[in-house]
Amino acid sequence: MSRGDRFGALQDDLVQHVLSFLPSRDSVRSAVISRRWHHLWKSTPVVHVTGNDDRFRLFVNSLLLHRDTTPPLRSFENEEVDSDDEDYGDDPPYVVDPHVDQWISHAVSTCHTRSLTARFPEEDTMWSPRQPRPFASPHLTTMHLDGVKLKDGLLDFSCCPALLHLSLTSCRLYAGAFVSPSLECLSIIACDIRIADGRTRMGVSTPSLRHLQLCGDVAQGFPKAPCLESMPWSTKSSIRLTGYLAQNPAPIYNGGDHSRAGPLFASAWLVGGHQPGAHGFAIF
């Protein structure tokens, strides 16, 4: 090893760990640092891509095409931001890239990612998955969705038997019921909920759920608290309500053993009799 190539002394797994903290575009650029690094980016355990234009599309397509799929992907993060291409003037049009479905399918099905993040921050444009089961995977444990439209049964996560943590922010949800046998932590923040199937509340059937956070107001589709249809109370579980729900208590009914659980009231008081802060936190 030459004295001028000290980066070449670093072990591959250490380099890949460091590269996992960088945006994927910078990770690929690291190939110029050392000859031994030319191909290390291909097996970096994290893919983090941000953008929304033709160059961004070409980069992501090439990145996923050349990535080594042998090591499982720890995390796939796709964040679409508005293009600043001067050809469009001061207010360029924003549309969700049509390749998003393929990218996420590749990350979930081929790369076996354990964590998936998809963010679409533009208020007027959401990503609406076109595949019937876009997140189906026995490996996925954590998912963060922001600005995604979920309908036609996409809130049934039974196809993700390992899913433990799910966060939905600024999403539009069309559902009569939310289903996940494995989910332990669920956050629904500032989402627009459109109740389906003739129901008056969205049902939540999550028998393994331990933590539930709901944040929203009437304008965001939270006129009523959801109905907890299946949630055993043999262990401590927590429910955190903010915004309209915390200020306007509404009953949350347990669809299981009513003799044990009874009607649960989402108020700004702890069941134990202690008053929390302004967020309203209930522990059962």
Work out the number of other CB atoms within 10 angstroms of the CB of residue 100: 22
Report d(CA 165, CA 195) in Å as an integer. Answer: 23
| Start-end of H helices in the chain | 12-19, 24-29, 54-66, 100-105, 244-247
Q: How far is CA 69 from the centre of its chain?
A: 22
Strand partners, 215: 189, 242
- Are 100 and 80 in contact by the 8 Å Cβ rule? The answer is yes
> Mean pLDDT of all residues in the chain?
77
- Are 220 and 192 in contact by the 8 Å Cβ rule? The answer is yes
Closest CA relative to residue 254, chosen from 224, 233, 237: 233
Lowest mean pLDDT among 49-53, 108-112, 115-119, 162-166: 49-53
Q: 272 falls in which pLDDT band (50, 70, 90)?
A: very low
* 116-146 b/e (C-beta count within 10 Å ≥ 16 → b): bbbbbeeeebbbbbeeebbbbbebbbbbbbb
Identify the pLDDT of residue 152: 77
- Are 19 and 31 in contact by the 8 Å Cβ rule? The answer is no
Q: Is pLDDT of 219 > 80?
A: no
Query: Of how many residues is the chain composed?
Result: 284
Q: 130 falls in which pLDDT band (50, 70, 90)?
A: very high
Report d(CA 71, CA 53) in Å as an integer. Answer: 29
Name the amino acid, one letter, at 205: S
Model-level pTM?
0.79
Name the amino acid, one letter, at 71: P
Report d(CA 75, CA 160) in Å as an integer. Answer: 16
Report d(CA 248, CA 268) in Å as an integer. Answer: 9
Name the amino acid, one letter, at 106: H
Identify the pLDDT of residue 33: 83
